[in-house]
Amino acid sequence: MKDNTDTPIVAAFAMTHTPGLGNQTGLAQPETLRRLLDGFDVVRRQIETARPDVIVAFVNDHFDMYTLHAMPGMAIALGDTHWGPTEATQDWIGMPRAPRPGHAALAGDIYRSVMEDGFELFRSESAELVHNVLMPAKYLWPSASIPVVPIFLNCFAPPLPTWRRAYELGVSVRKVLDRRPERIALMASGGLSHWPPITIDEDAADDPLMQRVQRWQILGAAALREDPELPLAILRREAEMAASGRDLVNAEWDHRILQKLAAGDREFMLSLTHETVRAQAGPGGAEMLMWTALMGAMRDAPADIVAYEAVPEWMGGVGVLSYARSLGRA
């Protein structure tokens, strides 16, 4: 493993981007929320001390940019300006829609280099940033306007990128970053185990809400203009699921996957299949693809599990991982 101390990478971290961290924080048990906020504060202070010029973020889209009419396996947004949150999500995220800075020079360099490595990324200019980037921003760099280069992995429309392919993308991205002059932070968001009601299952064909969801996944923003109450309807469905008594958090799986990532266990992560992950962690478990890409970018360096909580009220596990120790910045 290469020494990570001689590198422009000044911070690296991963965080769950659950919608519960928006306008639903009051649903969580107070002690649970306190422990999570304490964990976020640890990474927030690390980012403040590191003073990154830009954040390269491995994230997924939630049908806010890409639809089933054009769903890339992997993509990058190259613009100097992104936007977010969407009009349909700004109320529950708790942030107003506004321009969000990008970094075109770095994004373009990444794009050209990973193409040479055989990653034909779909390219966008301005990205629509939602809780994938803005939930971490809200808690981890709330008072800073740090440019973000978002790199997207498809987590919801099978067939999905393999775990090996996600890892190798991270390795390819890191090759670019090591020659750059900027102070760079790496981020992954998403996960852990959760069962979001935005995945069309075979047994949901007659569900009126899922029919609305399917129309949104095909048409994107046009469907939301026709059905502006859909995001709130999805949140209500999540609340109903959380209150149903169903076991919608697999804390055992969450702990195991966090431990494997923290140990840099490449063999384990690359042995995962989407079938087994979905069975154990729900359709939302595929969002750990981004954490796997981050692990590749960090060359299997050890990380620290800063916080983990099973939050049934939010219908998922919530975790924070930091590589500050490996970067000599703990």
The tens digit of pLDDT for each residue in 76-100 reads: 999 999 999 988 888 889 999 999 9
Our CA dihedral for 281, 286, 287, 292, rounded to 10 degrees, sits at 110
Q: Is residue 4 part of a domain?
A: no
**Helices (H) then strands (E): counts for the chain:** 12, 10
Q: Is residue 1 part of a domain?
A: no
Q: Is residue 293 part of a domain?
A: yes
**Angstrom distance (rounded) from CA 257 to CA 1:** 21
**Angstrom distance (rounded) from CA 65 to CA 134:** 15
Residue 247 pLDDT: 77
Residue 123 pLDDT: 95
**Angstrom distance (rounded) from CA 278 to CA 156:** 11
Angle at 162 between CA 210 and CA 114, to 5 degrees: 115
pLDDT, tens only, 151-178: 999 998 889 999 999 999 999 999 999 9
Total domains, the chain:
1
pTM: 0.93
Q: Is residue 308 part of a domain?
A: yes
Structural domain of 147: 9-322
**Angstrom distance (rounded) from CA 167 to CA 291:** 9
E strand or H helix that includes residue 126: none
Concatenated DSSP letters for 41-103?
HHHHHHHHHH--SEEEEEE---SSS-BTTB--SEEEE--SEEEES-TTTHHHHT---EEEE--
**Does the pLDDT value for residue 7 go beyond 90?**
no
Q: What CATH number does residue 285 fall under? A: 3.40.830.10
